[in-house]
Structure 1
Amino acid sequence: MRTFILLFFIFIGLIGQGEAVYTSQDRDTEFRTLVFADEFEYDGRPDSQKWHHQIIPPNNGRWHNDELQHYTDREDNSYVSEGTLKIKAIKEQYSYNGSTKEYTSARLNSKFIFTYGRVEVRAKLPSSAGTWPAIWTLGANVNETGNYYGNQYGEVGWPLSGEIDIMEQTGWDKNKTISHFHWGDLKTKEYRNMGGETTVRNASNEYHIYSMEWDSVSIKTYVDDTLVFELPNTNDKPYNHEHYLILNIAIGGNLGGDVPANFVEDIFEIDYVRIYQ
């Protein structure tokens, strides 16, 4: 879904809001009511009442952005143990619908949609070069192949659906994370994007909280209490309707980059997911 244009942020998108630290008193809206959560206090497959595995490649057997993996619904690639969700990328030959790839991973859609709120994900990121973990949302009207909601909320496609990348990390710089926004201008239909980045030390060895606060005025992304980027939520943007949350690791592609020959597997470990309104 994130096209090659995403790389445009290297030139114009990195206009983040610095390393300011914000407290709850500084924020525009207080989101106090917990409306969706998974604390992963169970073992086995991710809770099927809360998560949908998106496994059908939308581009004739390929995923977007030249990614190298197949996503699966196997417990090998996503499972819960010892209080955390593990999304595991594995080097292995795997075929699906006549398309064979050399890597597998998992892509989970929340079976929950929301307009406005605070998303909080406490996680450790994979450390291996070539891995591209992400915490992000899509408008529920995207009707992307294999997504949980289908065309139930419309089918405007991407980028008119809007996309909010709460956290992404490149495969070549494991000391930073990115927040980025992609959308289609509702008036001109033109593609737009903006975003920023921040330094995150020990992202693979320590938990950090990756969050978003979204209301009718703005959308703010944070790592712990550091503001990464703030996007004004104006009427020309598709950020005033339902979105759903996505968790995944891609391998290679535009933000994954080169995968080392000795790559075997790596894990995106998630302690909890919480959405407040």
Structure 2
Amino acid sequence: MGSKLNKSTTYSTGTLLIGLLSTGVNAGWEVQWIERFDGDSVNWNNWSAQTEANYNNEVQCYTADDYSTQQNYDVSDGTLKIIARKKTHACPTLGNQTKEWTSGRLNSKDKREFLYGRIESRIKFHNLEQGTWPAFWMLENRISEQPIKGDNDNVNWPNPGAGEIDVWEWFSNQPDTYITNFFNTSGCAEEVRYTYPNGSSDVLNWHNYAMEWTPERIDFFIDETLVSSQDVSGCPQYKEPMFILLNLAMGGNLGGYIDPTLQQATLEVDFVAHCQSTVDNQATRCDESTPTNGELEHNEQLNLIVYQNGVPTSAVDTSMGEVEVRATFSAEPNLDNYILTWNSGRLTSATEEGNALKFDPSSLPSGHYTVTANLTSLDDADFSLTQHHSLEVKNGDDIADEQDQSTSPDSTSANSSSGGATSGSIAIFLALVVVFRRYFLGVRR
């Protein structure tokens, strides 16, 4: 899943946003790009769902679902909610591996990438139960991870071109602290743990997490507090563009034991922004109140939502009747003065009707199908929005098999057995994992 925004403006999709390399004594910040999450779905012009991520023995299946009743991304009331749901699931993007949870992982690779400046987000987490592992972090853009564009993005983590910076990483098994971190292969990695003043309950409140990045230093902040200042002048990493990641992992090496009573966990994000230094103001943060550079473009969104029998769905059942893919445009819902065109791919029987693409799924084999919508303007020849959507089609036998699997005694016992370790063993295991991670491996998500 992905989309592309082509506009003849200074900052279009995929634009590299470069911050000034140093700040003056009285320098402030100026917003170059900001994601306010003020629509009603994920802006896929800025983000991709990294559905193929499968690291650290985690137990979730990452999805691209921002529209169904079991959605893992909810954009509403001006914030993004990444929601992990307890749901035994044959994960289609991981070869139908059985996963115990679904969740979300967004990255801005190839869409919004940054070199130096201040990157900031306002975040709160909704849960203190054990087993969760949310993070706001960055990777260099030549890493061999989805989406693969083929633009020399074939570097393995954590080599130069695939370095990692963790702005905020929290796991509920050590809830009083969070981690800032950066990894590379030359021995200049560092992990710093910040202790919340009020303990674990602080993670339930809104905080601004930020980093300021130059070729020489990386400084980490929570609100107005400097957490850590690191010399990276000798590091081979952190000299190339990086992209942002927001995700909620479950279990695994650092998420650890999951509270068996936990059914849902939520990471909430108010905004994400990138700023560069300026002498025109004295702003100390990079947020929604920070002045912009005057060329900041509006984040128009072309959204595609799938309905079957008038109900939003994340998977099409071949036995349940007509399917409709509806297109909406955040700037003008009625699409007046715009032209919408569709590419239905392998859905050869699909027909266009108004702002929708309709088809009968009854004769389709199970699998994934991609539809593409393109929006152009009658008033602006340079305006073009393209949105892709991957449809999962299942027949009745597939759905019955999944239901049998999720309710079988084996799957039930597998879920309940995750809590069999004693609390003492868990604590020792987690301590060993942290030591091993810091001094021998590093952990990627």
- Normalised by the length of structure 1, the TM-score is 0.81
Cα 1:29–1:171 change in 2 (3 A) is: farther
Paired amino acid for 1:87: I
Q: Secondary structure at the match of 1:203?
A: helix
Q: Secondary structure at the match of 1:33?
A: strand
CA RMSD, Structure 1 to Structure 2 (Å): 2.0
User: Which one of 62, 67, 84 corresponds to residue 58 of structure 2?
Assistant: 67
Q: CA deviation at 1:79?
A: 1.6
For residues 62-141 of structure 1, the aligned pairs below 5 Å read 63-75=54-66, 76-95=71-90, 96=92, 97-110=95-108, 111-127=111-127, 128-141=129-142
Give the aligned partner of residue 269 of structure 1: 268
Q: What CA deviation, in whole Å up to 9, does each residue of 1:135-166 have, x standing for no partner?
A: 0000001122x2x3544244221011110000
Paired amino acid for 1:105: S
Is contact 1:31–1:276 with CA below 8 Å preserved after alignment?
no
CA distance in 1, matches of 2:175, 2:24: 28
Cα 1:220–1:56 change in 2 (3 A) is: same
Q: What CA deviation, in whole Å up to 9, does each residue of 1:172-197 have, x standing for no partner?
A: 12222110111122xxxxx6531101
Q: Secondary structure at the match of 2:56?
A: helix
Give the aligned partner of residue 56 of structure 1: 52
CA distance in 2, matches of 1:53, 1:154: 17
Paired amino acid for 1:182: F
Give the aligned partner of residue 31 of structure 2: 34
For residues 105-254 of structure 1, the aligned pairs below 5 Å read 105-110=103-108, 111-127=111-127, 128-144=129-145, 146=146, 148-160=147-159, 161-185=162-186, 193-200=189-196, 201=198, 202-254=201-253
When structure 1 is superposed on structure 2, of 219-228 and 151-160 the one drifting more is 151-160
CA distance in 1, matches of 2:132, 2:86: 11
Is contact 2:117–2:212 with CA below 8 Å preserved after alignment?
yes
When structure 1 is superposed on structure 2, of 233-242 and 216-225 the one drifting more is 233-242
Q: CA deviation at 1:27?
A: 8.9
| % identity of equivalent residues | 33
Q: What CA deviation, in whole Å up to 9, does each residue of 1:96-141 have, x standing for no partner?
A: 2321100111000022111101111001024231100000000001
CA distance in 2, matches of 1:29, 1:69: 46
Q: Secondary structure at the match of 2:244?
A: strand
Is contact 2:188–2:235 with CA below 8 Å preserved after alignment?
no
Is contact 1:124–1:205 with CA below 8 Å preserved after alignment?
yes
Q: Secondary structure at the match of 1:74?
A: coil
CA distance in 1, matches of 2:169, 2:180: 6
Give the aligned partner of residue 14 of structure 1: none
Cα 1:197–1:252 change in 2 (3 A) is: same
Task: Report 1 or 2 for greater relative contact order, CA contacts < 8 Å, sequence distance ≥ 6.
Answer: 1
Provide structure 2 residue ranges, at least 5 long, that are not aligned to the other structure. Answer: 1-22, 277-445
CA distance in 1, matches of 2:172, 2:56: 14
Paired amino acid for 2:131: G
Is contact 1:53–1:109 with CA below 8 Å preserved after alignment?
yes
Paired amino acid for 2:79: T
Q: What CA deviation, in whole Å up to 9, does each residue of 1:216-254 have, x standing for no partner?
A: 110111111222222212243311111000000100112
Cα 1:272–1:206 change in 2 (3 A) is: same
CA distance in 2, matches of 1:66, 1:239: 27
Paired amino acid for 2:107: N
Give the aligned partner of residue 418 of structure 2: none
CA distance in 1, matches of 2:113, 2:35: 15
Is contact 1:140–1:153 with CA below 8 Å preserved after alignment?
no
Q: What CA deviation, in whole Å up to 9, does each residue of 1:58-95 have, x standing for no partner?
A: xxxxx111111110001210120111100001110111
CA distance in 2, matches of 1:67, 1:31: 40
Is contact 2:184–2:235 with CA below 8 Å preserved after alignment?
no
The count of corresponding residues between Structure 1 and Structure 2 is: 239
Is contact 1:195–1:229 with CA below 8 Å preserved after alignment?
no
